């Protein structure tokens, strides 16, 4: 992927060296679970389920207990202090800044075409844990978007985990992840997230899962739209980049994760969509480069 030599975003907040101490057992004591549930309602419970499933997959049952301890920590506010920036993260951080700038340019144009005004999100780079308006979050959550503060959060070392999941170590896979999270910001500005939350509040678990899948597949489609528009404007794509993006989408498909964990595939439990769905909606956004085409809530089938 061609990303060097272009501007970086002014909206990057670098907290990679910040650490937290305090709370139970000398850990960060990240009391995140009550905050997630309060802010995101039933979606919050689904997010916690995804976190625990992912941690069980990569860290085993002991890791699950540890993460649940962090999520439900004793309510003691951790104290921030400055530590060392993790080595080997400089290039990923620089790239993230450029990709965020590219999303700003693309989405400003798309919103203008549709009679709107794009509000740029911030990107927070962090190490291990971070304080957000959605509560204290562990890097175990992976990249995420917090609607109340309109910020995307990522510990760039997640990209190493993504490669181990089968997405490869190419830079476009990293761009796809960030573009997907910015897609959630776009959904927030368009009112999609609030409508989805309202629907989920009136739904049972199965229907709520299905609503969440539509949210996530729309973000994949928006990532594809951004890819097409950014390539037209900046010539970002190299041979193999789209294949990298599709591999990343497949690696984080619910069915892929369930198979990798040794369990059976249970479609009713999906919260992000199957590998095939995630790839297909990414390509839909890429091939159409049209905002309306990404409306998963208008689609009869996914």
Give the pLDDT score at 22.
Answer: 63
Q: Which residue has the higher pLDDT, 179 or 163?
A: 179
Give the pLDDT score at 294.
Answer: 98
Q: Is the pLDDT of residue 63 over 80?
A: no
pLDDT digits (tens, 9 = 90+) for 114-146: 999 999 999 999 988 898 999 888 888 889 999
Q: Is the pLDDT of residue 56 over 50?
A: no
Q: Is the pLDDT of residue 192 over 60?
A: yes
pLDDT band, residue 28 (cuts 50/70/90)? very low
Q: How confident is the prediction for the chain on average, in pLDDT?
A: 84
Residue 132 has a CB neighbour count (10 Å cut-off) of 18
Give the pLDDT score at 54.
Answer: 47
User: For 11-15, 184-188, 262-266, which range has the lowest pLDDT when averaged over its residues?
Assistant: 262-266
- CA 158 from chain center: how many Å? 11
Give the pLDDT score at 273.
Answer: 96
pLDDT digits (tens, 9 = 90+) for 103-115: 999 999 999 999 9
Give the pLDDT score at 33.
Answer: 45
Report helix angle 42-71 to 192-201, nearest 10: 90
Percentage of the chain with pLDDT > 70? 80
Give the pLDDT score at 128.
Answer: 87
How many whole angstroms separate alpha carbon 171 and alpha carbon 159?
9
């Amino acid at each position: 992927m061609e990303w060097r030599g272009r501007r970086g975003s002014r909206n990057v907040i670098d907290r990679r060296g910040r650490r937290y101490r305090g709370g139970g057992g000398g850990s960060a004591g990240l009391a995140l679970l009550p905050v997630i549930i309060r802010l995101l309602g039933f979606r919050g419970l689904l997010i916690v389920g995804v976190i625990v499933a992912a941690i069980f997959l990569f860290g085993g049952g002991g890791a699950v207990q540890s993460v649940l301890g962090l999520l439900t920590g004793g309510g003691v506010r951790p104290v921030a202090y400055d530590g060392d920036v993790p080595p080997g993260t400089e290039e990923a951080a620089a790239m993230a800044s450029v990709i965020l700038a590219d999303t700003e340019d693309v989405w400003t144009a798309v919103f203008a075409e549709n009679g709107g005004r794009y509000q740029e999100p911030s990107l927070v780079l962090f190490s291990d844990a971070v304080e957000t308006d959605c509560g204290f979050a562990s890097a175990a959550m992976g990249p995420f978007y917090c609607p109340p503060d309109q910020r995307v959060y990522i510990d760039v070392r997640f990209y190493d985990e993504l490669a181990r999941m089968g997405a490869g170590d190419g830079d476009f896979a990293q761009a796809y992840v960030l573009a997907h999270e910015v897609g959630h910001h776009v959904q927030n500005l368009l009112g999609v997230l609030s409508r989805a939350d309202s629907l989920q509040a009136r739904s049972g678990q199965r229907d709520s899962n299905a609503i969440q899948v539509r949210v996530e597949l729309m973000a994949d489609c928006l990532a594809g739209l951004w890819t097409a528009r950014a390539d037209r404007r900046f010539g970002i794509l190299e041979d193999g980049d789209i294949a990298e993006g599709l591999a990343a989408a497949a690696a984080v498909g619910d069915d892929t994760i369930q198979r990798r964990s040794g369990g059976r595939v249970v479609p009713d439990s999906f919260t992000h969509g199957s590998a095939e769905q995630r790839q297909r909606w990414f390509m839909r956004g890429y091939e159409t480069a049209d905002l309306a085409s990404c409306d998963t809530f208008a689609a009869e089938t996914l």
